[in-house]
Amino acid sequence: MLEQLLIFTRGGLILWTCKELGNALKGSPIDTLIRSCLLEERSGAASYNYDAPGAASYTLKWTFHNELGLVFVAVYQRILHLLYVDELLAMVKRDFSAIYDPKRVEYFDFDETFRQLRKEAEARVEELRKVKPLGNDGRKQQVVKKGSGGFDGGNKKNKSDAKEADGDDGKGTKLENGHTNGNHIVVGEGNRGMGLANGKENARSNNGAFDVSKLQKLKSKGVKKTTDTSVVVSKGSKADPKKKVTKKNRVWDDSPKDAKLDFTNPVEGNGNENENIQVVTANQGESMMDQEEIISSDSEEDEEDEEVGKDSKPDAKKKGWFSSMFQSIAGKANLEKADLEPALKALKDRLMTKNVAEEIAEKLCESVAASLEGKKLASFTRISSTVQAAMEEALVRILTPRRSIDILRDVHAAKEQRKPYVVVFVGVNGVGKSTNLAKVAYWLLQHKVSVMMAACDTFRSGAVEQLRTHARRLQIPIFEKGYEKDPAVVAKEAIQEAARNGSEVVLVDTAGRMQDNEPLMRALSKLIYLNNPDLVLFVGEALVGNDAVDQLSKFNQKLADLSASPNPRLIDGILLTKFDTIDDKVGAALSMVYISGSPVMFVGCGQSYTDLKKLNVKAIVKTLLK
């Protein structure tokens, strides 16, 4: 049953809603759709699933009228799978657009029109349901009785439709209409008389779908009729199961017992026993986080438009000089999808050369096409420049943070509540979590914020020593418990220690882990659940391409699935590392933000403590479309 149908403008003004339905929606599916799908350039998708608090789950489908700036949204329960929703939305869009007036805000007269459209759409679906079963029941089914010699020579269709069913004992063979015949015999070529007992198959006819090794074994042994009590024993299972033999370490003569390879010396405070480590007492300079980046304003936009136009010329239809000139002056009536495809293909290829994941580039182009389709092309405007302007607007909207990313303000707010501000750094192996944690610590010290490091990477050898070295250089305290400890407990104790000592920020270093490593992901989920940090930062490389989508989506998925909380914490922000090594291949930033919805809060761009800066959205967009 349809739960709700809504018509509103892109500015958010609700023009009409179906009072006849009148169902109170649980949660806020429309707001969520606008916030997480339409505003995030995901409008090219076919539908959106919303899990309401409680048991209700909705599916939302929508369509646009780009020329009038209208949005049509239908909401129904996900379990129902209504087939007429797409057709109903198209008919509602057609009829409502005919009576739409920008000066009107009420459309009570549309209720009767919608009632008729809904009945018409439901009637069409019922007709289709009646036609399909008749077509299936009219088909002739040929069933071979038990003990028959084989199929007729002309029954080629049944031979080609026979399916492999190894291991599907007792299930029978599936016929064309979807029904199952439990006592069906299929005879292979040259093996007449091979039968079935109680629906269990011994051979099949599938024109080359035989398992050759099994067929040869059957020929050599001879074919015997199987009974209900017969048991087939494979070669690998004729020996009785024995106790599992575990390999023991070789013990050499006169050799001492293996000692535990943990050479970590517990150090209290800052640790001054190693005097060779350089202490950064004086400033290395102002962090790049506090410096404004200047973008050179060169006139490359006209050249870019010309390049896009050139790329799209071979795919477009050749037009006469007069017709193309007249169209550029008068403007095109309405943009169609075929008109946009050449320019969108060129833009997609350009984004992929900039290291944007293919899936993200394709979704972005679909979203831009959905926002432009049906719009009127202005005079003296080319399609390529219109598409590029729409893509630029979409990229700026995606990369601009939806919430405040001012960490210093959040630190002061936590200080007023007399608790430390906790930041957890997570990510895959070798992306530079510990190094960039030290950069963040240096930036906070520049703003007179007291910082404590927590060495919760108890898995990788040398991780504690690496973080201890950074702590000594920056002259800040570090909380460590050595290796092979529970990182969640170490982080909890570090936060308690920071609260006692009056530290304002706790930076928690965690072990690198691949997104498919479930034991380590479970440990990370436990750490986040037990300590409830204020900020979960995903540290990712700017070098990754398609793998960025896999990393972010699986990290979020694992944190959600393995958390013990009904409202699990996911990734809050992104720290992009090695940004100085990629030249103009800046697409990883777009891929990560698009797939996670989290903003890029820091960008690592060098080896020293000052090499940490903010993401310049305008510079990234300009580079992507260059």
> Are the C-beta atoms of residues 103 and 40 closer than 8 Å to each other?
no
Q: Are the beta carbons of 185 and 144 closer than 8 angstroms?
A: yes
Confidence of residue 370 (pLDDT cuts 50, 70, 90): confident
Contacts of 355 (CB under 8 A, 6+ apart): 543, 544, 545, 582, 585, 586, 587, 588, 591
**pLDDT at 160 exceeding the cut of 80:** no
Give the model's pLDDT for residue 564: 85
Parallel, antiparallel, or unpaired for β 600-604 and 573-577? parallel
pLDDT at 573 over 60: yes
Unique residue bearing structure tokens 């070669």? 235
| Per-residue confidence band for 525, with pLDDT thresholds at 50, 70 and 90 | very high
What global pTM score does this model have?
Answer: 0.64
Cα four-point dihedral sign 238, 243, 248, 254? negative
- Under the banding of pLDDT at 50, 70 and 90, the label for residue 125 is confident
Model confidence band, residue 581 (pLDDT cutoffs 50, 70, 90) = confident
pLDDT at 212: 52
Model pLDDT for residues 3-43, shown as the tens digit of each residue: 888 899 988 888 988 876 666 777 788 888 888 787 776 76
DSSP state string for 222-266: ------TT-----GGGSSPP-PPPPPPPP--TTPPPPPP---PPP
Q: Is the pLDDT of residue 218 over 60?
A: no
Angstrom distance (rounded) from CA 223 to CA 215: 10
Q: The tokens of 23 are what? A: 């169902």
The pLDDT, as a whole number, for residue 522 is 92
d(CA 188, CA 205): 4
CA atoms of 518 and 511, how far apart (whole Å): 13
Sign of CA dihedral 236, 242, 246, 250: negative
Domains of the chain by residue range: 2-126, 334-399, 407-625
Please enumerate in sequence order all residues whose Cβ is within 8 A of that of 489, keeping only pairs 6 or more positions apart, or say none: 530
Q: Provide the pLDDT for residue 242.
A: 52
Q: What is the pLDDT of residue 313?
A: 40
What local confidence, expressed as pLDDT, does residue 470 receive?
94
Q: Helix 518-531 crosses helix 547-561 at what angle (to 10 degrees)?
A: 60
Q: Where are the alpha helices (DSSP H) in 21-84?
A: 29-33
CB 573 within 8 A of CB 601: yes
What average pLDDT does the segment 541-568 reach?
86
- Superfamily for 407-625? P-loop containing nucleotide triphosphate hydrolases (3.40.50.300)
Rounded CA-CA distance 212/449 in Å is 72
Contacts of 452 (CB under 8 A, 6+ apart): 420, 476, 477, 478, 479, 494, 497, 498, 501, 503, 505, 506, 507
Beta bridge partners, 577, equal 541
Alpha carbons 95 and 84: distance in angstroms, whole number: 17
Q: In this structure, are strands 535-541 and 421-426 parallel, antiparallel, or unpaired?
A: parallel
Question: What pLDDT shows up at residue 171?
Answer: 44
Quote the pLDDT of residue 20: 66
Q: How far apart are the first and last CA of the chain?
A: 49
Q: Quick check: 96 and 7 in contact, CB under 8 A?
A: yes
Of residues 532 and 130, more confidence is placed in 532
Pairing of strands 173-174, 70-77: unpaired
The band of 626, judged by pLDDT with boundaries at 50, 70 and 90, is: confident
pLDDT of residue 183: 42
Per the structure block, which two tokens stand in for 215? 């067929």
Compute the average pLDDT of residues 563-587. Answer: 89
pLDDT band with cut points at 50, 70 and 90 for residue 317: very low
Summarize the confidence of residues 397-401 as an average pLDDT: 89
Calculate ∠ Cα 573-577-581, nearest 5°: 145
Is pLDDT at 319 greater than 80 in this prediction? no
For the segment 192-203, the average pLDDT, to the nearest whole number, is: 40
Residues in the chain: 626
Residue 139 reports pLDDT greater than 50 = no
Share of the chain above pLDDT 70, in %: 67
Give the range among 92-96, 121-125, 451-455 with minimum mean pLDDT.
121-125
pLDDT in tens, 59-106: 888 888 888 888 999 888 888 878 888 889 989 999 998 899 888 888
Specify burial of residue 56 (Cβ count, 10 A radius: 0-12, 13-18, 19+).
middle
Domain at 2-126: CATH code: 3.30.450.60
Higher pLDDT, 325 or 55: 55
> What pLDDT is recorded for position 495?
95
Query: What is the percent of the chain with per-residue pLDDT over 90, rounded to a whole number?
Result: 28
Mean pLDDT calculated for residue range 230-259: 56
Query: Does the pLDDT value for residue 308 go beyond 70?
Result: no
At residue 79, the pLDDT reads 83
Q: What is the pLDDT of residue 402?
A: 81
In sequence order, the β-bridge partners of residue 487 are none
Whole-number pLDDT of residue 244? 62
Model pLDDT, residue 279: 63
Any idea which of 162-166, 442-446, 532-536, 615-619 has the lowest mean pLDDT? 162-166
Phi-psi region of 12 (alpha: psi -120 to 50; beta: other; left: phi over 0): left
Task: Report which of residues 200 and 125 the model is more confident about.
Answer: 125
Q: How far is CA 177 from the centre of its chain?
A: 37
Distances (CA, A) of 46 to 4, 57, 394: 18, 17, 19
Rounded CA gap, 261 and 576, in Å? 34
Asked if 30 and 21 touch (Cβ cutoff 8 Å), the reply is: no
Q: At what angle do helices 337-353 and 587-596 cross, to 10 degrees?
A: 120
| Helix residue ranges, H only, 406-486 | 407-416, 433-446, 463-474
Q: Is the pLDDT of residue 348 over 60?
A: yes
Strand pairing category for 451-455 and 421-426: unpaired
Of the pLDDT bands very low, low, confident and very high (cuts 50, 70, 90), residue 215 is low
In 3D space, the residue among 538, 531, 537 whose CA is nearest the CA of residue 488 turns out to be 531
Q: Tell me the average pLDDT of the chain.
A: 75
Residue in 263, 272, 276, 266 with CA at minimum distance from that of residue 462:
263
Contact 341, 315 (CB under 8 A): yes
